[in-house]
Amino acid sequence: MTLPHNTVIALSWIPHPPRRPSTMTLSPDFTPWASLLGGALIGLSAGLFILLNGRIAGISGLLGSLLAKHAEGRAEKALFLLGLLASPWLWSLFATLPGASIQAGGAALVLAGLLVGLGTRYGAGCTSGHGICGLSRLSLRSLVAVACFMGSGFATVYIIRHLMGA
């Protein structure tokens, strides 16, 4: 028996699992428009910083050179970092800030901070320098760095939450 090429055969004899109603709900903290605006502002500020100063807006590099004794361009670096610190206050004038909770003790936070600082030295930059500025410049070194720290973050969360049960 030959069937025309446009014939559809329904395989009704294959058992299908019963369909469950969707239980996915969005968190009240899901703020796509605020996130999109924030990402656009970060991109705009990083782009303007490199256009106006000729330097990458990597936060660890900016902070490190701001603390150095004889660094040039201290005023614009200080203003850029001050803008980062003032942003939540400015946002709070127009909308409520999302809630934040830290579920780690003081020792864990200090250890995490030291590990991040060590990583920025070994990786020759931080997440903002590699992830925002480096990737936008199509830097292979930044792509490798981002893959490493994102992979490390995923692995750390999996180990702590799923294997250690914390």
- What is the secondary structure of 93-140 as a DSSP string? TTSPPPP----S-HHHHHHHHHHHHHHHHHTTS-HIIIIIIIHHTT-H
Q: Name residue 38's amino acid.
A: G
Mean pLDDT, residues 49-70 taken together: 83
pLDDT in tens, 102-159: 888 889 889 888 888 888 888 788 888 888 888 888 889 999 989 988 898 899 889 9
Asked whether residue 11 is domain-assigned, the answer is no
In a domain, 129, yes or no: yes
Residue 2 maps to a domain: no
Number of structural domains in the chain: 1
Q: What is the model's pLDDT at position 137?
A: 85
Residue-level pLDDT at 1: 53
Q: What residue type is assigned to position 140 of the chain?
A: L
CA distance 139 to 105: 36
Is residue 121 within 8 A of residue 113, CB to CB? The reply is no
- pTM for the model stands at 0.63
Kindly state whether residue 128 falls inside one of the protein's structural domains.
yes
Q: Minimum mean pLDDT among 4-13, 37-46, 54-63, 76-85: which range? A: 4-13
Percent of the chain with pLDDT over 90: 7
- The single-letter DSSP state of residue 160 is I
Please tell me the total number of residues recorded for the chain in this structure: 166
Predicted confidence (pLDDT) at residue 6 exceeds the cutoff of 80: no
pLDDT at 67: 83
In a domain, 47, yes or no: yes
Cα 26 to the center of its chain, rounded Å: 20
Mean pLDDT of 66-73: 81
| Residue 66 falls inside a structural domain | yes
| The pLDDT of residue 140 | 93
How does pLDDT run across 16-29, given as a tens digit for each residue?
Answer: 555 555 566 667 76
Reported as a pLDDT band with limits 50, 70 and 90, residue 75 is: confident
Q: What is the pLDDT of residue 155?
A: 92
> Which domain does 61 fall in, by range?
40-92+117-163
Rg of the chain in Å (alpha carbons) = 24
Q: What is the pLDDT of residue 144?
A: 92
Q: What is the DSSP string of 70-81?
A: T-S-HHHHHHHH
Please state the separation of Cα 129 from the chain's center in Å. Answer: 12
Query: Is residue 102 in a domain?
Result: no
- Quick check: is 68 in a domain? yes
C-alpha–C-alpha distance, residues 25 and 89, integer Å:
30
How many whole angstroms separate alpha carbon 6 and alpha carbon 65?
69
Residue 124 near residue 146 (C-beta atoms within 8 A): no
